[in-house]
DNA sequence: CACACCATTGCAATCGATTGCAATGCAGAT
DNA sequence: ATCTGCATTGCAATCGATTGCAATGGTGTG
């Protein structure tokens, strides 16, 4: 592949001059520059970024670590991130951790070795992250912005949706609809101040209704939701509403309910969280909470690029919380009468 | 950040020795090596890959260009690709072209400048690619494997699903079900020997039924499908089956049909293509054609890595076609009687 | 005519690794 | 004691850029 030196020979100048010319420096004569540009163009010269990166001590590359792509939430987020990253003039190095802590670690050192300028870490819901881990992460010296919150995340810049508020909106919605017997199918609590389940239960309590412990289902995979539903259908009196931790669970729940002959929302209301595209396609269309994914992605890369360029003077990590909103569709309705 | 030289000083040896020690070379005394390893470890030394890449003239990075992430087909594919790529010891540089030729070009030169070892190009259905473009691509000198086919693709290694065969399977399925009045809602033909629409129409003809020209709807976006359906519902006699070019279209079609009070499949059968996850969630679950995405991804990165390492002696480009299979679900049923 | 100054250009160091070849030193053979 | 050979280690070149500083030459001024 053609290099600076080759062009220099062709143009009868030194490689320094070629470098300057191609960079558009005013330090080189206009005529010379144009001649060099023409030659470089004719021969399809393309700068060797890796040499350039070595000299310049940066790579114009941002590393992105995300759990997976099979939950549609992530592609949506990554799409936005990719767009903002590329708009900011960076390339994206993508690593999928598969919700696996070890992989995440490997990706992190890989990214560091490759001297990416900054890292976006989407931790997902695996909750494996710990303060200790965070500390190790921290001294890598590379700017990192976290998507989501976990214990210890406060040591970093982070961006998260206001899931707690979203959960509260759902709670009020259900309360307004007259529901008094409500089930929660959720994942283990790990998001502290932003935890959906916790906020939901608290707000429900605020409305004067308590959720029976038996109606709290804690699952770790979408598949487990099926079991939860089966179990739930046995309880007496049967709940009139179900709050699912996320849309992907809510979808399974609806499907299972319908398979059992239960009508949604006539018999049981179901509410999800995330506002996946799919949520509006299924029938009944899912009532859920939307996350302004685009806004989050924007905040994420904005924060990171500011850290990279040093625009953000503050040494203090900052967290940005983007609002969520309830999206009422067909899967939620008034509580039906029950002969208690 | 700690460099080779620093470790060398600490260990009282030359940086050459450190380099060799860390690479596990037999050219360095065992005791020395272990001492160096310990020191490097204590000080958290991490090799600078960009310097290493420069010297070694490769980057252990594969570039991936895909159209977008909002059609669920791509995340699924990319997930698989990412897994195989990482299993093969490479990193992934991801570029989303947004179905835009110009972006695709930019990504291509960016990837080239970054000296990725090889490129995976997922062209999608935008059909913008042309033989001329391909030629330009070709002389970049970097190994490229194409996902999908377009005119001119034969100059490259490529991997594609046997969409034509899938379309034929659908045709036979519909024929078996007794359909004689069939509509096609498709995208512009551009996949030559692998084109779905063409293969479908031919196979239907093989079965002795001809598709009325008025029943051939050519659309370019999912949204247009709505118009097509509206128009279709006006025709007399009304088709008893619709073949949609891809699941994302089929979903819109079903939704629109149902909104108009038409029952699927009782009144009209609908068949898609791609087997998105979503296809099994909607109601009625979609009859479609599955693509063995994992197999394609595997073939894709296998082919590319072979090119990179030079295992594949053949200068001749090779195309691999992976089989497709019909997945019969609820959206297709026997043709209803019509009083023609 | 001499000198200062400015516009161009080239020289050479540098980024942080890898690696062929030369140098060193010690052990064993003669 | 001298020499050969092997195991270690270091020197220095190289990968392909960027850039501070020196060198060059031409022009304008006193």
Q: Are B49 and B117 in contact (CB under 8 A)?
A: no
**Residue B340 pLDDT > 50, yes or no?**
no
- CATH code, domain with B189: 3.40.50.2300
Q: How far is the CA of B4 from the C1' of C19 (A)?
A: 15
Selected residues 22-61 of chain B with any CB under 8 Å from a CB in chain A: 46-51, 53-54, 59, 61
Count of CA atoms in the C-beta half-sphere (13 A) of B108: 23
- SS3 at position A252: helix
B94:A82 CB<8 A: yes
Q: Are residues B229 and B176 in the same domain?
A: yes
Q: What is the largest CA-CA distance in chain A?
A: 95
Nucleotide nearest to B49 (CA to C1'): C17
Q: Are residues A36 and A67 in the same domain?
A: no
pLDDT for position B339: 41
Q: Are residues B154 and B220 in the same domain?
A: no
Domain span holding position B10: 4-47
Residues on chain A touching B102 (C-beta within 8 angstroms): none
Q: Are residues A287 and A215 in the same domain?
A: yes
**Residue B104 pLDDT > 70, yes or no?**
yes
pLDDT for position A105: 86
Structurally, chain A folds into a number of domains equal to 3
The better pLDDT of the pair B187, B17 is held by B17
pLDDT for position B171: 97
Residue B199 forms part of a structural domain: yes
d(CA B204, CA B269): 15
Is A3's Cβ below 8 Å from some Cβ in B?
Answer: no
d(CA B316, CA B319): 10
Residue B333 forms part of a structural domain: no
Instruction: Tell me the per-residue pLDDT of B226-276, one tens digit each, with 9 for 90 and over.
Output: 999 999 999 989 999 999 999 989 999 999 999 999 999 999 999 999 998
Residue B52 forms part of a structural domain: no
Q: How far is the CA of B93 from the C1' of C10 (A)?
A: 38
- CATH code, domain with B32: 1.10.260.40
Q: How far is the CA of A34 from the C1' of D23 (A)?
A: 24
Q: Are residues A156 and A175 in the same domain?
A: no
- Phi, psi at residue A122, to the nearest 5°? -100, 110
Selected residues 138-177 of chain B with any CB under 8 Å from a CB in chain A: 139, 141
Q: Please list, residue by residue across A196-232, b when 16 or more beta carbons sit within 10 angstroms of its beta carbon and e when fewer do.
A: bbbbbbebbeeeeeebeeebebebeebebbbebbeeb
Mean pLDDT computed over B159-174: 96
Residues on chain A touching B54 (C-beta within 8 angstroms): 48, 50-51, 54
- Phi, psi at residue B13, to the nearest 5°? -130, 180
Q: For chain A, which ranges sit under pLDDT 50?
A: 339-340
Q: CB burial class (10 A; 0-12, 13-18, 19+) of residue B226? A: middle
Residue B328 forms part of a structural domain: no
Residue A36 forms part of a structural domain: yes
**Residue B5 pLDDT > 60, yes or no?**
yes
Closest C-alpha to A237, from A105, A339, A87, A96: A339
Q: Are residues B237 and B315 in the same domain?
A: no
Q: Are B242 and B170 in contact (CB under 8 A)?
A: no
Instruction: Tell me the per-residue pLDDT of B171-228, one tens digit each, with 9 for 90 and over.
Output: 999 999 999 999 999 988 778 889 999 999 999 999 999 999 999 999 988 889 999 9
**Residue B83 pLDDT > 60, yes or no?**
yes
pLDDT for position B152: 80
**Residue B126 pLDDT > 60, yes or no?**
no
pLDDT for position A340: 40
SS3 string of B122-189? Answer: ECCCCCCCCHHHHHHHHCCCCCEEEECCCCCHHHCEEEEECHHHHHHHHHHHHHHCCCCCEEEEECCC
Instruction: Tell me the per-residue pLDDT of B310-323, one tens digit each, with 9 for 90 and over.
Output: 887 677 889 999 99
- SS3 at position A77: helix
Q: Are residues B18 and B118 in the same domain?
A: no
Residues on chain A touching B95 (C-beta within 8 angstroms): 82, 86, 91-92
Residue A332 forms part of a structural domain: no
Q: Are residues B231 and B204 in the same domain?
A: yes
Q: Are residues B255 and B308 in the same domain?
A: no
Closest C-alpha to B19, from B38, B33, B39: B33
Q: Are A18 and A8 in contact (CB under 8 A)?
A: yes
Average pLDDT, chain B: 91
* Strand bridging mode B325-327 / B288-290: antiparallel
């Amino acid at each position: 592949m053609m290099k600076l030196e080759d062009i220099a020979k062709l143009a009868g100048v030194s490689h320094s001059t070629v470098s300057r010319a191609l960079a558009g420096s005013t330090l080189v004569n206009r005529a010379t520059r144009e001649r060099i540009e023409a030659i470089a163009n004719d021969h399809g010269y393309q700068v060797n970024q890796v040499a350039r990166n070595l000299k310049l001590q940066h790579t114009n590359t941002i590393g992105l670590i995300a759990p997976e792509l099979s939950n549609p939430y992530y592609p949506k987020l990554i799409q936005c991130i990719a767009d903002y990253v590329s708009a900011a003039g960076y390339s994206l190095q993508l690593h999928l951790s598969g919700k696996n802590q070890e992989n995440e670690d490997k990706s992190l050192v890989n990214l560091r070795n490759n001297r990416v300028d900054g890292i976006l870490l989407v931790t997902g819901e695996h909750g494996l992250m710990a303060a200790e881990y965070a500390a190790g992460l921290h001294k890598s010296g590379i700017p990192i912005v976290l998507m989501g919150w976990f214990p210890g995340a406060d040591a970093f810049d982070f961006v998260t949706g206001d899931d707690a508020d979203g959960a509260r909106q759902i709670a009020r919605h259900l309360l307004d609809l007259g529901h008094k017997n409500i089930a929660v199918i959720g994942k283990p609590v790990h998001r502290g101040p932003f935890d959906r389940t916790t906020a939901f239960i608290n707000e429900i309590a605020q409305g004067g209704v308590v959720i029976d412990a038996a109606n709290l289902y804690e699952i770790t995979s979408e598949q487990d939701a099926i079991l939860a539903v089966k179990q739930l259908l046995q309880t007496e009196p049967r709940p009139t509403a179900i709050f699912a931790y996320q849309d992907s669970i809510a979808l399974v729940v609806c499907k299972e309910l319908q398979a059992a002959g239960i009508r949604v929302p006539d018999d049981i209301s179901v509410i999800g969280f995330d506002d996946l595209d799919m949520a509006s396609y299924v029938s009944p269309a899912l009532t859920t909470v939307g996350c302004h994914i685009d806004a989050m992605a924007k905040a994420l890369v904005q924060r990171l690029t500011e850290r990279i360029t040093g625009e953000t003077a503050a040494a203090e990590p900052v967290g940005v919380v983007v609002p969520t909103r309830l999206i009422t569709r067909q899967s939620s309705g008034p509580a039906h009468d029950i002969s208690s």
